[in-house]
Amino acid sequence: MSAEPTLDALVEALRRLPGVGAKSAQRMAVHLLQHDRDGARRIASALEESVARVHHCARCHTFTEHEICAICASPGRDARLLCVVETPADQSALERTGSYRGLYFVLMGRLSPLDGIGPDQVGARELLARAADGQVEEVILATSFTAEGEATAHVLSQALKARGLRVTRLARGVPIGSELEYVDLGTIAHALVDRR
Amino acid sequence: MSAEPTLDALVEALRRLPGVGAKSAQRMAVHLLQHDRDGARRIASALEESVARVHHCARCHTFTEHEICAICASPGRDARLLCVVETPADQSALERTGSYRGLYFVLMGRLSPLDGIGPDQVGARELLARAADGQVEEVILATSFTAEGEATAHVLSQALKARGLRVTRLARGVPIGSELEYVDLGTIAHALVDRR
């Protein structure tokens, strides 16, 4: 379809979505134009509105369309606890547990030196400034338990401890509902050390 | 993120893309807002332009921003051959082979009675009108070799033959580069019957 610049431009644009290759992009374009033109219009306007309105929360760095996000603005939160997560999705997973009443700081990524993502790119400086507000007593590092997430936690932990803050990490252990036989050995070893 | 209607609307809108669930939609939204706002703007404008400009070719039913698509408008094509495919992607696969010089009719789907997609939804009436232009001598049915694609070919074949047209189907057989051991038995049986 080389004589169709508008359609080609749409397929090319859809490829910028993460995880979408040439074939998926073409399938998406055909689906929207054939079956869901209303959906196409909605996606377009939702994207434009989001780009225009959504920015980072001045306190926790997550996405918000307000100056301060709803959680940071909530008076019912315990300002002595600050939980550091990688993404808004991680934050909502923690929120859904209903068992955390402190505040958050969302890194919007994790250290990945090979990809050029250093401490500055994950907002380490903003985190240090945020944690030094005089109210925060404990910083809970809830980055992923992957190599990059662990490295991020290590670097942040050093910097935070140097400023005299109490730093903790989510417990590692055997997930609920799993049989030991199928749990990886590193997890079992950690669960053994951290037994209580 | 229930206090963020703009972001929620974006995630909800992205779920209308085929094959995109709640988690992918959230990942896409965060990726675009964090790393590729320019991409978000491009997707939005490409969608709007496509919805406004792209429609069906008056002759072959594929997507085009002109009255007649480039292939239908090309004088070098053999107007005696009409190849029926399900999607623009199938059409471009045939074009890339470089071995077909006739014209096309793109169904934009296939029969699927359980989903409410009958002959009218796949443009059967338009195909019959198109094939009765006095120039078409042979209709090549190149729908998928799936149950639904075969049913589509069967129904169209009956209708086209009733109008005195020569109807053929793409050959079934063993794909190039495959070892017989790993080819399914139905394919081998067909290749045996159609041996030449």
Q: Express each pLDDT in B80-118 by its tens digit.
A: 999 999 999 889 888 888 889 999 999 988 888 888 888
* pLDDT-derived band at B182, boundaries 50, 70, 90: confident
Phi then psi for residue B117, to 5 deg, are -100, 100
Q: How many CB atoms lie within 10 A of CB B174?
A: 14
Residue B29: its chain A contacts at CB < 8 A?
50
The pLDDT assigned to A1 comes to 44
For residue B105, the 8-state DSSP code is: E
A171 pLDDT above the threshold of 60: yes
* pLDDT-derived band at B37, boundaries 50, 70, 90: very high
* pLDDT-derived band at A33, boundaries 50, 70, 90: very high
Q: Do B46 and A13 count as a contact with CB atoms less than 8 A apart?
A: yes
Largest CA distance in chain A: 68
Residues 6+ apart with CB under 8 A from A36: B16
Distance from CA of B30 to the nearest CA of A (A): 8
Alpha helices for A36-123 (secondary structure H): 37-53, 70-73, 88-97
For B114-155, write each residue's pLDDT tens digit.
Answer: 888 888 777 888 899 999 988 999 999 999 988 889 999 999
Say how many CB pairs under 8 Å bridge A and B.
186
The pLDDT assigned to A172 comes to 83
Q: Do B50 and A3 count as a contact with CB atoms less than 8 A apart?
A: no
Residues 6+ apart with CB under 8 A from B166: B137, B138, B139
Using CA atoms, how far residue B109 sits from A52, B67, B88, B162, B168, in Å, is 37, 21, 10, 23, 19
**Nearest residue, CB atoms, A6 vs list B17, B43, B49:** B49
> Is there a contact between A168 and A183 (Cβ–Cβ < 8 Å)?
no
Q: Which two tokens stand for residue B16?
A: 């209308």
For A6-30, write each residue's pLDDT tens digit.
Answer: 999 999 999 999 999 999 999 999 9
Place of tokens 């434009």: A48
Residue A4: its chain B contacts at CB < 8 A?
54, 63-65, 69-70
Distance from CA of B151 to the nearest CA of A (A): 21
> Is there a contact between B105 and B133 (Cβ–Cβ < 8 Å)?
no
The pLDDT assigned to A37 comes to 94
For A75-132, write each residue's pLDDT tens digit.
Answer: 999 999 999 999 998 898 888 888 899 999 999 888 888 888 887 777 888 899 999 9
pTM score, whole prediction: 0.81
Nearest to B4 by CA among A91, A136, A192, A178: A91
Q: Do B44 and A29 count as a contact with CB atoms less than 8 A apart?
A: no
A143 pLDDT above the threshold of 60: yes
The pLDDT assigned to B1 comes to 43
Residue B32: its chain A contacts at CB < 8 A?
16-17, 47, 50-51
**Nearest residue, CB atoms, B13 vs list A13, A42, A65:** A42
- The pLDDT mean for chain B works out to 89
Q: CA A65 to CA B173: how far, in whole Å?
A: 58
Residue B44: its chain A contacts at CB < 8 A?
43-45, 47-48, 51
> Is there a contact between B8 and B2 (Cβ–Cβ < 8 Å)?
yes
Q: Do A7 and B50 count as a contact with CB atoms less than 8 A apart?
A: yes
Q: Do A65 and B6 count as a contact with CB atoms less than 8 A apart?
A: yes
**Nearest residue, CB atoms, A10 vs list B12, B32, B46:** B46
Strand blocks (E) in chain B: 55-56, 63-64, 78-85, 102-106, 138-141, 166-169
Tell me whether strands B63-64 and B55-56 are parallel, antiparallel or unpaired.
antiparallel
Q: Do A65 and B40 count as a contact with CB atoms less than 8 A apart?
A: no
SS3 content of chain B, % helix, strand, coil (to 5): 50, 15, 40
Largest CA distance in chain B: 68
Residue A46: its chain B contacts at CB < 8 A?
6, 9-10, 12-14
Share of chain A above pLDDT 90, in %: 58
The better pLDDT of the pair A114, B162 is held by B162
Question: Which of B2, B4, B15, B41 is the best substitution to test chain A (most A C-beta atoms within 10 A)?
Answer: B4
The pLDDT assigned to A8 comes to 92
Whole-number CA gyration radius for chain B? 21
- The pLDDT mean for chain A works out to 89
> Is there a contact between B169 and B141 (Cβ–Cβ < 8 Å)?
yes
Mean pLDDT across B27-39: 93
The better pLDDT of the pair A183, B64 is held by B64
Give the chain B residue whose CA is nearest to the CA of A31. Answer: B18
Using CA atoms, how far residue A80 sits from A113, A153, B19, in Å, is 31, 19, 42
User: Can you tell me whether residue B55 is helix, strand or coil?
Assistant: strand
Q: CA B111 to CA B22: how far, in whole Å?
A: 29
A2 pLDDT above the threshold of 60: no
Nearest to A39 by CA among B31, B21, B32, B48: B48
